[in-house]
Amino acid sequence: MKILLLDKNHPLITDQLLAKNFILEEDFTSSYDEVCNKIEQYDGVIIRSRIPLDKNFLEKGKKLKFIARVGAGMENIDIPAAEKLGIQLINSPEGNRDSVAEHVVGMLLVIMNRLFIASQEVKNGIWKREENRGDELLGKTVGLIGYGNMGKATAKRLSGFGCKVIFHDIIPGLSDEYATQVTLDELKKSAEILSLHIPLTSETHYLIDEAFIAGMEKDFYFVNTARGKNVKTKSLVNALKSGKIKGACLDVLEYEKSSFENIENENEDLIYLLQSEKALITPHIGGWTHQSKEKLAQFIVDKIVASYC
């Protein structure tokens, strides 16, 4: 089988697939149109996020048997078109679930205990203790939306901090030793921390908006390591200003490029987030550890080999 690799990944992908007699071609620079013009040559594609695989692309891939995305989200692939064409879709959410979960916990500890703010103050000769009094995770009720790989890994860690973890998911019967499944209304009533672990779909686009935030009974901390467009930024900013959201931990932003490489545009809401002490922002690195890079790649290789060797 001939496979096209469109993004740089861990070298184990190349090493192990070559050892299994796959034919590999790397192309990390060609444009969408250039790749479309040659995709009919390949049996499989391995991607991250550089190029969208839309209906036009998939229809040109006459020989395509599979698309493997090194990561969790599949929103850059036209899934209905792929399924209609009989193209297998492979991803590897198992590979970065631990790094995402640790990122969630790390961001919460930083913002709830004012660690970054206090550190910067001390480095600038400012010594404040009472003003930097923290807020403990112990005893907090954490509400997760989505209970797949990322949600479960996050629940496991937060339960170890003495949190009560509840979650809402469209799939029933997912409760386990770390978290209890509840209705969305129950989650909104109880949660003191809200964390998103959902894909970006038509149903989850702008899930967190004015109405959702207003429906939360308690003031709360908010964490998003899912997708930026799950959240309407203006609604988030207004809630931070009013105090309804006590602090926001954002690893993803509404204004990211589809490739996640940078910000597409700046506006007053983004500027507010970048300047606010109530917002902690990282550049889409929740699943971006040295260990996850290897694990993401290994899961992809294992799944390809299992299906095509």
Residues 265 and 119 in one domain: yes
- Helix (H), strand (E) counts: the chain: 12, 12
Q: Which of 10, 103, 192, 256 is catalytic?
A: 256
Question: What residues make up the domain containing 192?
Answer: 96-281
Q: Looking at residue 15, which CATH number applies to its domain? A: 3.40.50.720
Residues 146 and 220 in one domain: yes
Residues 106 and 82 in one domain: no
Report pLDDT for 92: 96
Residues 42 and 67 in one domain: yes
Residues 30 and 177 in one domain: no
Contact call for residues 163 and 135 (beta carbons, < 8 A): no
* Tens digits of residue pLDDT in 156-187: 999 999 999 999 999 999 999 999 999 999 99
Active site residue 284: yes
* Tens digits of residue pLDDT in 212-261: 999 999 999 999 999 999 999 999 999 999 999 999 999 999 999 877 77
User: Does a structural domain hold residue 249?
Assistant: yes
Q: Which parts of the chain sit beneath pLDDT 50?
A: none
Report pLDDT for 259: 72
Q: Which of 205, 284, 290, 294 is catalytic?
A: 284
Burial 29-63 (b: 16+ CB within 10 A, else e): eeeeeebbeebeebbbbbbbbbbebeeebbbebee
Total domains present in the chain: 2
Residues 74 and 105 in one domain: no
User: Does a structural domain hold residue 45?
Assistant: yes
User: Who's near 79: CB < 8 A, 6+ residues apart?
Assistant: 89
Report pLDDT for 225: 98
User: Does a structural domain hold residue 101?
Assistant: yes
pTM (two decimals)? 0.93
Q: Which of 25, 227, 254, 268 is catalytic?
A: 227
User: Does a structural domain hold residue 53?
Assistant: yes
